[in-house]
Amino acid sequence: MTETDNYILKEEDSGESLSKWERLSFFILLVVFFAFGLFDHSLWSSNDTREGAMIAEMYRTGTWVTPMFNGQNYLEKPPLLHWTSLAFCNLFGRVNEGLVRLPAAMFGFGTMIIIYLFGRRLGKERSAFAAIFMCSTSIQFLEYSKIVLTDTALTFTTLFSLYIFWEAYNAQNFKTLKYACFLFISALSFYAKGLLGPGFIWASVTIFLIYNKRWKLFLGLACLFITIFTALLAPWIFALWKTGGTEFIKTVFWTNQLGRFFTFSNMSLPMDPYFVHKEPIYYYLKSLPVSLLPWTLLVPFAMLYWFRSRRGLDSPLHIFLRIILAGMLIILHASTAKADCYMLPALPIIFLMTAIWSENIMTDLNSRYGNWAIAITTGIVSFICLLIPIVYIFLFAAPHSFYDRYFNGVNILKITGTQALYAGLIMAFTSLSLFIVSARELWTRYIGGLYARTWLTFPAIATVLLVLNIEAVLPACDYQHTFKPFIRVVRYEKERGTRIAFAGNEEKYIGAFIFYLKSRIDIVPSPDKLAAFLLEGDAPAAVIIKTKELKKWLEVLPECRFKILKSEHKGYKSDYFRLVLNDKETKVINTKLASRSNNSKVDRATRKESKK
């Protein structure tokens, strides 16, 4: 092979441009990825249930000023995500799981578009798509783009603002308009998650402008930002004052913004918000590797490449991206409040850097350790993509004796229904077939010398396989995690006029019952308050109690008329609760006996009594 032929091969392998069909296919895959998993299962996680309950209550009560949780104003975070969800709910005239999740997915999708635009500006379109699919399938970004939480809103507004700044900084036309858009969006980012958004943005912009000695531009933009920021916040501050007076304003800005960043805690308050997420300075060194899975092994090599090497990474945009990441890390480590989710805006930048690094070293295989990191990562991701459909097919074909031994006789796939069972089987076989075909095609390209192009295509294929695999197992997971069957038991009693309360203060469970019962719920905070709620008054009353805590709560009751109800559903979450009902039309069941009995005996007695 001549030197010219070798140059052409490397130019083709770099894969910096895509055909229109490749580009269209990648965008369609991106849309499908962020659309799946929104409307096809119930609320599972603590964030889903709590934030979903807030949005549902805001919709029912017509409240826009702050999120509402069980009749209380929730002042921890500004409500951009809640407003967006509320707009969708009002548009469609209903509240459901998909509509409250939709904004997080849309903000996540928008973030990926911004990363694509940054990559194109660098002339690395194929790397940009690889970064998009690596970021989308990383464990933390995948989770947060599928649940009701504010962090993808923060990520989108932060990176969108920084991209508009870059466009304005380099603009030949409409420069003033672009700077105005940057200032507006950077101010708007406060509504995503408080001061963290403007902090990320202005730390990066300040360092960049000072690095380039643009003092006048920095001072001018900073002064204009303060003006726009004040004007944009003024209507909400006024609405807060009208709703809750100066106490609301103090709670929002002093307690939940400055108090989270600095350390000035009141030691006498056990629930002091200043203690929320207080972690040591090295916290992110422990948590970040988990957030980056399954691509973690690549990131250290990419960071060394970007921050120690200057080979082709010395353009103004390369410098700006390094400054963005450095600015975010400064803010994150300076704050005394630390949590995994705070790191989310940095992940797209990290993965863009990782994809560009991987393209550069795979073009001519010039990094021994980097190549090993890519090979190991490819093997791990491939193993995961292969394992899930194989396990599904095995469970489908497993004999009854297997389920008798390991799952107490419950077939965790067949119990979801015939349609879900066979749909999952089809997706499992489709995933396996696609894996085999893709592996052969990628291997052919790789041994043909197209190293970079082969590797940069791999994250997109992994994304397709991930969608198929998750959709295959999602019905079985939802069967175990859904609250709905037990809530049907509670709803039936509620419709009969029974007063309903929840035993305890756990917001993640209270939120689920608020969301699905479509109403607020009384709280019994401790066992000593249980008798007062159940026994006072003539109307029937019932309390939702966690099954494992049933004995502790029932021991404080005197002998009374009550029964214990459960769902016949075999899912884990539906069996997690019992409904203790004081109904004067039922026979007497001795509470002391009930508290000493195990739950299954109490439930059998209840079912026998119900049949009578």
How many percent of the chain have pLDDT more than 70? Answer: 88
Is the domain of 473 the same as that of 489?
A: no
Peptide bond into 300 cis (omega under 30): no
Is the domain of 64 the same as that of 115?
A: yes
Is the domain of 412 the same as that of 552?
A: no
Distance CA 510, CA 222 (A): 43
If you average pLDDT over residues 52-57, what whole number do you get? Answer: 96
* Res 368 pLDDT > 80: yes
60-74, 237-251, 312-326, 594-608: least confidently modelled range: 594-608
Consecutive H or E run containing 564: strand 563-565
The pLDDT of residue 612 is: 37
Is the domain of 404 the same as that of 425?
A: yes
Contact 359, 443 (CB under 8 A): no
Distance CA 355, CA 295 (A): 11
DSSP secondary structure of 73-96: E--SS--HHHHHHHHHHHHHT---
Whether 402 is in a domain gets the answer yes
**Side-chain-facing half-sphere of 258: CA atoms under 13 Å:** 7
Whether 12 is in a domain gets the answer no
The pLDDT of residue 334 is: 84
If you average pLDDT over residues 428-448, what whole number do you get? Answer: 95
CB atoms within 10 A of CB 213: 9
The tokens for 246 are 């100066």
| Mean pLDDT, rounded, of the chain | 87
Last residue of a domain, one of 481, 516, 551: 481
Whether 9 is in a domain gets the answer no
Whether 112 is in a domain gets the answer yes
- Helices and strands (H and E) in the chain: how many: 27, 7
Whether 3 is in a domain gets the answer no
Give the angle 17-19-22 at the CA atoms, nearest 5°. Answer: 105
pLDDT in tens, 539-551: 889 999 999 999 8
33-42, 97-106, 269-278, 341-350: least confidently modelled range: 269-278
pLDDT confidence tier of residue 602, bands split at 50, 70 and 90: very low
Distance CA 557, CA 576 (A): 21
Q: Are strands 499-503 and 522-524 parallel, antiparallel or unpaired?
A: parallel
Q: 88 or 6, which is more confident?
A: 88
Is the domain of 472 the same as that of 489?
A: no
The pLDDT of residue 597 is: 38
Distance CA 512, CA 489 (A): 14
Give the angle 72-76-77 at the CA atoms, nearest 5°. Answer: 115
Last residue of a domain, one of 349, 364, 379: 364
If you average pLDDT over residues 63-76, what whole number do you get? Answer: 92
Is the domain of 488 the same as that of 459?
A: no
If you average pLDDT over residues 248-252, what whole number do you get? Answer: 91
If you average pLDDT over residues 507-536, what whole number do you get? Answer: 91
Whether 133 is in a domain gets the answer yes
Last residue of a domain, one of 336, 364, 392: 364
If you average pLDDT over residues 240-248, what whole number do you get? Answer: 93
SS3 292: coil
Distance CA 577, CA 565 (A): 9
Which residues span the domain enclosing 221? 17-364
The tokens for 79 are 């409500």
In angstroms, the first-to-last Cα distance of the chain is 89
Contact 388, 451 (CB under 8 A): no
350-360 core/surface letters (b: 16 or more CB in 10 A; e: else)? bbbbbbbbbbb
DSSP secondary structure of 149-182: -SHHHHHHHHHHHHHHHHHHHT-SSSHHHHHHHH
pLDDT in tens, 485-514: 999 999 999 998 999 999 999 999 999 999
The pLDDT of residue 6 is: 42
pLDDT in tens, 154-178: 999 999 999 999 999 999 899 999 9
Is the domain of 379 the same as that of 288?
A: no
The pLDDT of residue 323 is: 97
The pLDDT of residue 274 is: 42
pLDDT confidence tier of residue 309, bands split at 50, 70 and 90: low
Give the angle 277-279-285 at the CA atoms, nearest 5°. Answer: 120
Is the domain of 247 the same as that of 274?
A: yes
Give the position of tokens 């699905």: 516
The pLDDT of residue 337 is: 78
The tokens for 93 are 């005239």
Number of domains in the chain: 3
Is the domain of 142 the same as that of 229?
A: yes
* Res 559 pLDDT > 80: no
Distance CA 574, CA 568 (A): 8
Whether 6 is in a domain gets the answer no
The tokens for 155 are 């990520």
The pLDDT of residue 585 is: 57
User: What is the SS3 string spanning 342-389?
Assistant: HHCCHHHHHHHHHHHHHHHHHHHCCCHHHHHHHHHHHHHHHHHHHHHH
Is the domain of 389 the same as that of 281?
A: no
If you average pLDDT over residues 549-573, what whole number do you get? Answer: 84
What number of residues does the chain have? 612
The pLDDT of residue 339 is: 84
pLDDT in tens, 262-281: 654 444 433 444 445 667 77
Distance CA 506, CA 523 (A): 10
Q: Are strands 563-565 and 577-582 parallel, antiparallel or unpaired?
A: antiparallel
Q: Are strands 577-582 and 541-546 parallel, antiparallel or unpaired?
A: antiparallel
pLDDT in tens, 321-359: 999 999 999 999 888 778 888 999 999 999 999 999 999
Backbone region of residue 367 per phi and psi (left: phi > 0; alpha: psi in -120 to 50; beta: other values)? beta
Contacts 24+ apart (CB under 8 A), 551-555: 551/595, 551/596, 552/527, 553/503, 553/527, 553/580, 554/580, 554/591, 554/594, 554/595, 555/527, 555/592, 555/595
CB atoms within 10 A of CB 430: 16
Is the domain of 144 the same as that of 232?
A: yes
Residue in 565, 598, 594 with CA at minimum distance from that of residue 580:
565
Q: 191 or 270, which is more confident?
A: 191
Give the position of tokens 């939802």: 478
Is the domain of 376 the same as that of 477?
A: yes
Whether 10 is in a domain gets the answer no
If you average pLDDT over residues 124-141, what whole number do you get? Answer: 96
pTM: 0.89
